[in-house]
Amino acid sequence: MFARPTLLAATFALGLAALLPGKAEAHRRWLLPSATVLAGESGTVSVDAAASNGLFTFDHRPMGLDDLVVTGPDGQSVAPKVIGTGEFRSVFDVPLAQPGTYRIAIASDGMMGSYTLNGERRRFRGGADQVPEGATGVQMARTVGRTETFVTLGGPTESALQPTGTGLEMVPVSHPNDLVTGEPAQMRFLLDGQPAAGLEVEFVAGGTRYRDDAGIEMLTTDEDGMLTLVAAEPGMYYLEAARRTGEGEAQRNASYTAVLEFLPL
Amino acid sequence: MRKTILLAVGGLAATPVAANDMQVTLEIPRLRVAEYHNPYVAMWIEDEAGKVAANLDAWYDVDLKGEEAGTKWLPDLRTWWRRAGRSLKMPVNGVSGPTQPPGRYTLRFAEGTRPLGQLAPGRYNLRVEAAREVGGRELVTIPFQWPPRSAQTGAASGSSELGAVRLTIRP
């Protein structure tokens, strides 16, 4: 329980970083599974949830697990076993009781904003009722975020990959647990269920601590929201995209991040 | 027993030539390492498009059961896992077998019987993949033509987890 304030603060800061124009402090949010391809009748994956700049080094803030949703191969939700939240990361286990593909996601949707009171800039979560009297420079927006990863026990299945129709989403055309180096992978991006055309997507290989090059590849979806990913080296990769729509009170910030593993063949 | 005889007669009637036969010899090298485990080995035939035509062998810790069952490390045979393993329910009769220590092994497969079965005429690749716990992974490929018009042999050699692999096909 002691970790809760930290946790809230983390989620809070993350959402707001996306909100403030020109602020480059949106840390990368990721869910890193212990394995993505598993065999057997049943299994377990352990997942780290963190926000950091380096990939995949948990050295900044844990990600909150309040909005954690795990979807099983039958499309039903699976109860994760939350281990807890430390200074830098949250940890949970996902029991894999049946073969197929699982989608592990932190999906948030809510109002966030900031204002100035007594010369101090403050951030808040919630609607206009959270703004005290005398506050100036009020900024508010709806923030829809999704951070996810995928794991498969046995053969890959599709049921868990169906889009929800809310916010920015990735619909895998190439199965997310069937990715190998050198083979182009196709992903479609949707915003509220419609193709997200011309969306800029950041694609980065893990292991940033051990190289000089940031290794960021900026890609753009086509008119159907399609994106082609090619990984030269095997490893865990990070994907991030964001899109702002609406102005003023109707402003809405949708973001999406994912971790995908590319295996050598 | 009677069924077998009937099948054999039927096979003869369809093809006047006796069943083609395939022999694979493979070597698991002896390695000087601190911690040695017998490798997991998979052997299969795929067509030119990479589609699996026959699963010949899968050697793993078949007797290891429970929380950490022997099947747990099957995905380490990465190519086999992607092409065939992940859609199979292990163990597979006539395919699964226990791991083997370093040495030379000779395996025979006959057309029309499991696990080779019937192959449509065409070009194929024999693939042998080995992965070892606390070790590496290696995959070797030997192309061949089926059915063989005359006896043919093919060979490939691994450099770490596999030694010499030899394929002999006889009509």
Residue A15 has pLDDT above 50, yes or no: no
Is A43 close to B74, i.e. CB distance below 8 A? Answer: no
| Nearest residue to B107 (alpha-carbon basis) of B55, B62, B167, B149 | B167
The model's pLDDT over B131-152, given as tens digits with 9 standing for 90+, comes to: 999 999 999 999 999 999 999 9
DSSP assignments along A137-190, one per residue = EEEEEEEEEEEEEEEEESS--SGGG---SSSEEEEESS-TTS-BTTS-EEEEEE
Give ipTM to 2 decimals: 0.76
Please identify which residue in the block is written with the tokens 């598993």: A38
* pLDDT per position as a tens digit, B40-56: 999 999 999 999 999 99
Backbone angles phi, psi at A209, to 5 degrees: -65, -25
CB-closest option in A40, A178, A264 to B69 = A40
- Is B167 exposed, middle or buried (CB count within 10 Å of its CB: 0-12, 13-18, 19+)? buried
Q: For A162-215, what is each residue's pLDDT tens digit?
A: 999 999 999 999 999 999 999 999 999 999 999 999 999 999 999 999 998 999
Q: Which residues of A touch B52 (CB under 8 A)?
A: none
Compute the mean pLDDT over every residue in chain A, rounded to the nearest whole number: 90
Residue whose token pair is 């101090």: A120
DSSP A71-92: E-TTS-EE--EEEEE-SS-EEE
**Is A86's pLDDT higher than 50?**
yes
Q: Is the pLDDT of residue A81 over 90?
A: yes
Asked if A154 lies within 8 A of B86 by C-beta distance, the reply is: yes
Query: What confidence tens digit (pLDDT) does each residue in A201-215 have?
Result: 999 999 999 998 999
Residues in chain A: 265
Element (H, E) at A119: none
A262, A179 in Cβ contact below 8 A?
A: yes
pLDDT at residue B95 tops 80:
yes
Question: What pLDDT, in 10s, does the model give residues B107-129?
Answer: 999 998 889 999 999 999 999 99
Mutate to test the interface with B, among A34, A36, A38, A93 (most CBs of B within 10 A): A38
A chain contacts of residue B77, beta-carbon cutoff 8 Å: none
Give CA–CA dist A28/A23, Å, rounded.
Answer: 14
3-state per-residue secondary structure call for chain B: CHHHHHHHHHHHHHCCCCCCEEEEEEEECCCCCCCCCCCEEEEEEEECCCCEEEEEEEECCCCCCCCCCHHHHHHHCHHHHHHCHHHCCCCCCCCEECCCCCEEEEEEEEECCCCCECCCCEEEEEEEEEECCCCCEEEEEEEEEECCCCCEEEEEECCCCCCEEEEEEEC
Residues of A in contact with B78 (CB under 8 A): 263-265
Residue B162: beta bridge partners? none
Whole-number Å distance between alpha carbons of A11 and A66: 10
Look over chain B and give the mean of its residue pLDDT values, rounded to a whole number.
88
The reported pLDDT for the residue numbered B18 is: 59
Of the candidates A152, A153, A138, A108, the one whose C-alpha atom is nearest the C-alpha of residue A12 is: A108
A36 to chain B: nearest residue by CA? B75
Chain B nearest C-alpha distance from A190 (Å): 28
Please give the residue that has the higher pLDDT: either B63 or A90.
A90
Query: pLDDT by residue (tens digit) across A224-245?
Result: 999 999 999 999 999 999 999 9
Q: Do B75 and A37 lie within an 8 Å CB cutoff?
A: yes
The torsion angles phi and psi of A22, rounded to 5 degrees, stand at 75, 0
- The structural domain count of chain A equals 1
Q: Which residues of B touch A156 (CB under 8 A)?
A: 86
pTM, entire model: 0.83
**What pLDDT score was predicted for residue B7?**
36
Torsional class of B110: left (φ above 0), alpha (ψ -120 to 50), beta (otherwise): beta
The percent of residues above 70 in pLDDT, for chain B, comes to 89
Q: Are A19 and A143 spatial neighbours (Cβ–Cβ below 8 Å)?
A: yes
What are residue B106's DSSP bridge partners?
B25
Return the pLDDT at B98. 95
Residue A66: how many other CB atoms lie within 10 Å:
11
Mean pLDDT of A87-109: 97
Considering only the beta carbons, identify the residue of B72, B82, B87 that sits closest to A40.
B72
Distance CA A132, CA A65 (A): 29
Q: What is the pLDDT of residue A207?
A: 95
pLDDT at A110 over 70: yes
